[in-house]
Every structure is written in structure tokens, then in C-alpha cells.
Structure 1
């Protein structure tokens, strides 16, 4: 369940939106001024802010400017003003979307969900494992040595991933088979050995002398990051 923080000095609107968004499956917090909102962002780490432009004290633009100094939380701004310059200013300062008052509550929900989808996609694309100059991106099942992409099959990627996650430790062939092949090994099954051989060759093309997949007899394989 995503947590939203609604920020507006109109308490009646806040209560209506809180009730509606709760029915839509969100956990909804409310703040009635900018200072309270900044404190709550730090305390509760909401997934998204719905922030009013016009508020007494710190207005929405000022809150957004302070927010962007420390937080990357997505922000959807609300405004009763229809001046394009205000909308452009908010977007330039880091707002993710804008919605003019009065608005349809269902459109607000649709925009919130669209922002959350984009945010989750960006996070997934940037999440990676790192070992020295090796980078693994799980969402795309791709790997890079420095800036060079490794032409790995899906199985080779999965084998490299489990070795990186347990770098320095011996990973058994049975564990590797379950992780990469989604099955157990059978008697005389050398499929893991074959895939590891191909993976070694591809790593040696770009990272020779830097990474080594060591065979541990009767146990499995061990990935080592070699000293420079």
C-alpha cells in the first residue's frame, strides 16, 4: 500500500480527498501547511505528495524548492491558478505533474497512479549489483564491465548474479541449478559446468586478471575479485 501526503490549507478538501483516496487503497496522511509537510516527509517517507500551490506561510513552490534539496519524492501540484507560467515554474522546479482546481477526483487518482508507475520503473532501471567495475541490472538481466556490455544468455546472467551475491564464497552446483535453471541437477548432469565455461570465456574477454571463477572440486564455484 502506497502512502500519500496531502498538503493543503483547505481542511474540508483534505478530508474529502483523504476519504476518497483511502477507499482507492492508499494510506493517506494530511498536512495543512508547508512546514508541517516538510517534517512529515522526513518522518513518514511518503511515496508521493499532493501539494497545493497557494498556501499561507510557505507556499507550494517554496515547499517544493526546500523538498528538492533533500528528497526525491514525487510531487503532484494542485492549483486554482490557470497561469501557464505558474505551471511551468512548478514543473521546472521538480514537480512531476500538475492538476488545476476544480478537478475530478478520479482524474487525481489516475495521475497519482501514473506517477507511481513511472517512479517504480525508474527505480527498477537504476537498481543494480556492483562488484569492482562489474554492474548487473536485474530488471533487464544485463551486465556491464565498465561501459562494455556482456553478451550473456539469461542462464549465464543468473549464474553470474548468484556468484556476485555470494562473492568469495563457494556456491554449490545444486544451488546454482535451482537459481539459474529452476530445477535440480540429475546424475551426470554437467549443464552448470558448460554454462560456467561459457561465462568464464565471456568474462575473460573484458575482465581478465580482474575477476576469476574458481572451480572448487566436489563443491561448486567461487567468484573472486582479484587485486589490481
Structure 2
């Protein structure tokens, strides 16, 4: 497959992003600056973040830090465009500046909370205490006061996602802690590093992770991943689970993801300590 290329659309549709010195194709005219992603096997999307701020330099700075975490980044410079991105792209979290032209951050938050529970991290100035309180009251999850460290913004965003949604499932992706499972491409990564799984191991992991919290017997795992069974085969599931843990767990002897339910079978944890 080709390299992962990041590009940005300006307000008049003129390409301003480049990668490795090569221009991408010009895209359609849009009012939203957004990141386009082309597949590459060794880079994964941890989650999608929408940054809403009219300060272009600040947006690019935050975008750089989020992309280093393996995130897909969308950007909007005003409230109306932000609402459009939320509606069309369904990002996992929003970084929202309160001081926006036209529709301000508080109004954006109010509109979103009418029918959407996307986590919202507010960006505020030190003298906006009342706005911060109002923002929290109408549904924002947390705030960061300017000036701030980009690392702090990323850390707070990740903390919000841990609190609000341990496993993020979007567009064929299952994200749990540092583990990411791409169901469409049959790829698994841990902390951004690709793991080599056998077809059987992937099928077992997909079954358990897509049904987190549900307990499966060995026989059920065989039937749903192999489509057939024969006497004694279900015991080989233990060997597959052992190999899976060795690859996906930080400490296979104390598994965080694939847990044994003694006397019954296995389950994928609905919550992790990562």
C-alpha cells in the first residue's frame, strides 16, 4: 500500500499541505480545513479529534501533537463548520475554543448537547471563569486555560476518552487502551506498533473484542471462528489465547484485555487499567 499522506484544504480549496516534498491533488472547495488520510500499514488511527479554533498557528501546533499520537485530525475555524464536521465525520472528541467568530464556543456546545454526547474539551482564557463554569454546566467535559502546553491538551483529551468511552468503535476500528484493532484491514497494533497475528488469532481477538464483556466458552469460540469443530479441538483455543496474550498484553501473566473466566471460557475486558 502507499504511504500515509496528510494534506490540508484551504478555504478556497487550494492545496497547502505537502508530504515528503510531493504535492497531493487539489480537492473540492470546502469551508473546513480537514486532514485527509491515505492508508499505510504501520500507522494507525487511535481516534479522531476535531480542533475548533480560528488561530491557524495554534490549530497546526495541536494537530502536530495529536498526529504524533496516531490521531486523525479535523479542524474548523468557526462554530458552524464545527457543527458540520461533528454531523458528517463523527469525531471521537472535540477541542473547542470558546472565543470564536460568529457562533461562539458556548453556543456550539449547547447545540451539540441537544443530540450528541461527543466529549468536549474547552480552550479558555484565564479571565473567562464565568464562561468556563457555564461551559461545564451545559455539557463540556473539561477545560484547559490559555496559554497551555500542547502535551497537556493531548493528555487531557486522552483522559476524557478513558473516562467517557473505554473502547471506541468507529469505522471498523476497536480501540481499547493502547490496543487498536482494524477489522477492515485485519490489522492490530499496540501503542502504535503493528502486531503479527495469525488468521486464527485475529478471528478470536475480533470475536472477543467486538463483544467486550461477553463470556465465550471454548466451544463457542471454535464454532464462531472456525465454522466447525471436532473432538479435542476446542482445547487448542487455550494455545491460541496464550499466543494472543503474549502479543497484545503488556504482561501476559496479568492480562488486561483477554481474561479467563475459570470453568467457562474467555472474555475481552469491557474496561482496562491503561
Give the TM-score category using the shorter length.
0.5 to 0.7
- The farther-off stretch of 81-90 and 100-109 is 81-90
* Structure 1 runs, 4 residues or longer, greater than 4 Å off: 138-141
Matched-pair contact (CA < 8 Å) for 1:4–1:49:
yes
Determine if the alignment matches structure 1 residue 47 to structure 2 residue 105: no
1:70 pairs with 2:85: no
TM-score (norm. length: structure 2): 0.47
The question of whether the paired residues in 2 share the 8 Å contact of 1:5 and 1:48 is answered with yes
- Matched residue pairs, number? 146
Indicate yes or no: 2:216 matched with 1:158: yes
Bigger radius of gyration: 1
Pick the structure with more helix per residue.
1
Is residue 65 of structure 2 the alignment partner of residue 20 of structure 1? yes
Gaps of 5+ in 1: 125-137, 142-156, 160-173, 188-228
- Equivalent residues of 1:177, 1:185 under 8 A apart: no
Q: Which residue does 2:261 correspond to in 1?
A: none
Please say if 1:118 is aligned against 2:160: no
Offset of 1:29 from its aligned partner?
1.0
Quote how far apart the aligned CAs of 1:12 are.
1.6
Cα RMSD between the aligned structures?
3.1
Contact 1:158 1:179 survives alignment (8 Å): no
Q: Structure 2, unaligned stretches of length 5 or more?
A: 1-44, 170-210, 233-274
- 2:56 paired residue number: 11
C-alpha separation between the residues in 2 aligned to 1:25 and 1:38?
24
Residues 88 and 179 of structure 1, relative CA distance in 2, 3 Å threshold = farther
Alpha-carbon distance, 1:15 to partner: 1.6
Judged with a 3 Å threshold, the aligned counterparts in structure 2 of structure 1 residues 39 and 186 are, in CA distance, closer, same or farther, namely same
Asked if the contact 1:4/1:28 (under 8 Å) is kept, the reply is yes
